Amino acid sequence: MEFVISHLAKSYGKHQVLSDVDYAFEEGKIYGLLGRNGAGKTTLFNCLNADTETDGGKFFFRDGEKNMPVEAGDIGYVLSTPTVPDFMTGREFVQFFIDIHSDKIKNPKTIDEYMDYVMIPEDTRDRLMKDYSHGTRNKMQMLANIIVAPRLMLLDEPLTSLDVVVAEEMKDILREQKEGRVLIFSTHLLDIALDLCDEIVLLNHGKLELVDKSNLDNENFKTKIIEALKDADNT
């Protein structure tokens, strides 16, 4: 299975953010979507998640010769700033999410099993999420997507502002979640992309291009990538 983006375009007035995004993402891999702040990574994700209307192009799943449309439940979106209901406890949130998606969850687990998986401390599970740390809120947002196991997960700089321990825990979780689905992980940090991702694609001047990770040991090549990211940031 592949997730295919075909000639996607998006402008805001005269500013062309996405000009011709064209790429096929393979199942079972984490893709690092690399680009400086302002390059259009979040715009691309919002287009794929149907939060923003595109100006042209299409996207779909492909299995061999068969193309399949993207349904609402096929995409999970993890934001850089976690959005979880502050008025609910962690345990209430997980139960609520299980209840409303009961017909879609394969091999359901107990609430504590789910919370154990993302390492939510036991003494916080019955506290309101408004009192959770940024890292724990981020884990809860991730857990919501893990429960329903979408075919495509969009992760918009989810490791931003996390401490080192939580960031490493999140990386391990993402590595385990890539089986059977496509994960696209946006970041402006090259080192994170190299550490976590199976493949890296660069969003530069509104287009996507594959970055050969083997060339990144070459300082001249790495310098070119960094310069491209700077250019992207200034567009």
In the chain, the domains with their CATH numbers are 2-233 (3.40.50.300)
Per-residue confidence (pLDDT) for residue 217, from 0 to 100 = 63
What percent of the chain stands above pLDDT 70?
90
pTM higher than 0.95, yes or no? no
For residues 191-219, average pLDDT: 82
**Alpha-carbon gap, residue 34 to 161, rounded angstroms:** 18
Question: Strand, coil or helix: what is 36?
Answer: coil
DSSP 49-104: TTSS--SEEEEEEEETTEEEPPPGGGEEEE-SS----TTSBHHHHHHHHHHHTTTT
Q: How confident is the model at residue 38 (pLDDT cuts 50, 70, 90)?
A: confident
Contact 211, 202 (CB under 8 A): yes
CB 216 within 8 A of CB 63: no
What mean pLDDT is predicted for residues 186-211?
A: 87
What is the rounded end-to-end Cα distance, in angstroms, of the chain?
34
Say how many C-beta atoms besides its own lie within 10 A of residue 57's C-beta.
Answer: 16
**pLDDT (mean) for 181-186:** 94
Helix (H, G, I), strand (E, B) or coil at 151: coil
How many Cβ atoms sit within 10 Å of the Cβ of residue 178?
A: 18
3-state secondary structure of 108: coil
Residue 216 confidence (pLDDT) above 90: no
For residue 160, pLDDT over 90 is answered with no
The Cα–Cα gap between 119 and 133 comes to 13
Whether pLDDT at 233 is above 60? no
pLDDT surpassing 50 at residue 234: no
More confidently predicted of 8 and 219: 8
User: Angle 90-100/134-148 helices, nearest 10 degrees?
Assistant: 20
53-109: pLDDT as tens digits: 999 999 999 998 899 999 888 999 988 888 899 999 999 999 999 999 888 888 889
